[in-house]
Amino acid sequence: MTINLKNFLSDKSKMSKMGEFQDLKPLDGLEVSSISADLYNNGRDDLALFYFKEGANYASLTTSSTIVSETILWNEKSNKKVIKGLLVNTKNANTFTGQQGYEGIETVAKNLAKTLTLRESKKQGGISETIKIKDLIFASTGVIGEKFPDSKISERLEDLVSKLRDDQNKLIWIKTASAIMTTDTKPKLAYEEFTFNNKIIRIAAVAKGSGMIAPNLATMLSFIFTDADIPSNLLKTLLKKAVANTFNAITIDSDQSTNDMVSIFSTRKIKIGYNRGISDPVIQKFEASLKKVCMNLAKQIVVDGEGAKKFLTVRVINAKSLLSAKKIAFSISSSPLVKTAIAGEDPNWGRIVMGIGKSGEKVDKNKISIKFGDFLVAEKGSPSENLDFDKINEYMRWDSILIEIDLNLGTDKFECYTCDFTHDYIDINADYKNST
């Protein structure tokens, strides 16, 4: 897809080429590495390790699917608020793998804990703190229902640990973000910082996601890191708020994964005062920066939707409630008919009307107005008069399209993000097991 992420996300350009990634700065208390365990049989990096030598406060949100991966089950049973490390594997989802999948994670955890403990002992010239298996959490993404490759992963842990670095530069961040990709065509990174009491507080993040994307996260993994000393319970609250209108406001194909996970980690290096609440000025600054990071990554996921050529924003305004606005927005944005019309550059607002109706929400059709960009195509239940089809058709050739629905029933609004459906989406998913 040919959208300049840097410009696109700041709304400066809608038709430019792919730009450069943000500069992500090193985060004190975090070490990262990535290698190939040959899970893809092509040598690409497929394992990523995030290590917190002094521990990190941790909070996570996961899929609402009734079937979840053995990896997520491991994390939930661990039930820790402070961890030492996160290991991510691609190619294999470790879902529907039964006892073998769970025991496989346990095996990897034992080997990783041992390897990290030995590493610290060597660095300190003697006995150090023993890292326990419950100090480690995991994330998996890839094909569902295939045996978990715990042996392949375990064989590469020594090399993975030996490559840990605390001087993360742009290249290292890009390499690490690339290691967690599946059908993604681009690594996804985001960074924000702000100043508090002459201290720079940093938030750095990576994500993956391209298909099987629907609300309640998506088939996505996202890992967010900060040096601000924020307790786990407050991190969880802030993460929930940030996700609501970002990661939970996107859809590619309305399919929800078994492996969705977005996590936030605090290395606790920048002390801000531990008793601060949600309304505290520094926490509000942090919340605003966190939301920017999540929105940046969420839009990058949509831009990189499987086979996508166009980015679509569906905005519902003046609804009777937030829930109503959200239901209608997703009813439209998840419609294959709408998404294929966008792919064909067809301003078929009849499909928008269909999407409103199938949502099940009570509306007054005689009050509804529909706009494509700045062009009013329908007003008060009827097509607009004096439509300039040449200009509308020109607008539909843009890479980024906005559809706005004014219900004229209230004051609530919701905005969600999706992409078009192209032949490439079918090609990718018709042979997914072999293409990842």
How far apart are alpha carbons 379 and 418 in whole angstroms?
Answer: 24
Residue 435 lies in a domain: no
pLDDT higher than threshold 70 for residue 254: no
Q: Which residue among 115, 176, 219, 246 is the active-site one?
A: 219
Q: How far apart are CA 94 and CA 92, in angstroms?
A: 6
| Whether residue 123 is found in the same domain as residue 261 | yes
**Given 277, 303, 329, which residue is the final one in a domain?**
303
Q: Is the residue at 436 inside a domain?
A: no
Q: Are residues 332 and 287 in the same domain?
A: no
User: Bridge-partner residues for 270, per DSSP?
Assistant: 228
418 in active site: no
66 & 124 share domain = yes
Would 44 be classed as within a structural domain?
yes
**Same domain flag for 90 and 228:** yes
pLDDT number for residue 220: 80
Question: Worst-scoring range by mean pLDDT, 39-43, 49-53, 292-296, 368-372?
Answer: 39-43
Tokens of 306: 């499987």
Nearest-10 Cα torsion for 421, 427, 431, 436: -80
Residue 67 sits in the same domain as residue 203: yes
Q: CA 219, CA 258: separation in Å to the nearest integer? A: 7
Structural domain containing residue 386: 311-419
Residue 412 is part of a domain; what is its CATH number? Answer: 3.10.20.340
Residues 225 and 367 in one domain: no
CATH number of the domain residue 189 falls in? 3.60.70.12
| pLDDT tens readout for residues 171-194 | 899 999 999 998 888 899 999 999
Buried b (16+ CB within 10 A) or exposed e, 69-94: bbbbbbbeebebebbbbbbbbbbbbb
pLDDT in tens, 298-337: 999 888 877 678 999 999 999 999 999 999 999 999 898 9
The last residue of a domain, from among 278, 303, 328: 303
Which value, in Å, is the radius of gyration of the alpha carbons in the chain?
Answer: 23
Binned at pLDDT 50, 70 and 90, residue 133 comes out as: very high
Residue 275 is predicted with a pLDDT of: 81
Whether 105 maps to a domain, the answer reads: yes
User: Looking at the structure, do residues 138 and 241 belong to the same domain, yes or no?
Assistant: yes
195 domain residue, yes or no: yes
In this prediction, residue 435 carries a pLDDT of 57
Do residues 299 and 348 both lie within one domain? no
| Counted domains in the chain | 2
Average pLDDT score, the chain: 87
Name the pLDDT band for 426 (thresholds 50, 70, 90): low
Percent of the chain predicted with pLDDT > 70: 87
| Cα 41 to Cα 62: distance, rounded to the nearest angstrom | 29
Say what the pLDDT of residue 121 is: 87
Whether 426 is covered by a domain: the verdict is no
Instruction: State how far the Cα of 139 lies from the Cα of 260, in Å rounded to an integer.
Output: 9
Give the pair of three-digit tokens for residue 20: 């450069």
Indicate the SS3 state at residue 316: strand
Question: Comparing 149 with 424, which gets the higher pLDDT?
Answer: 149
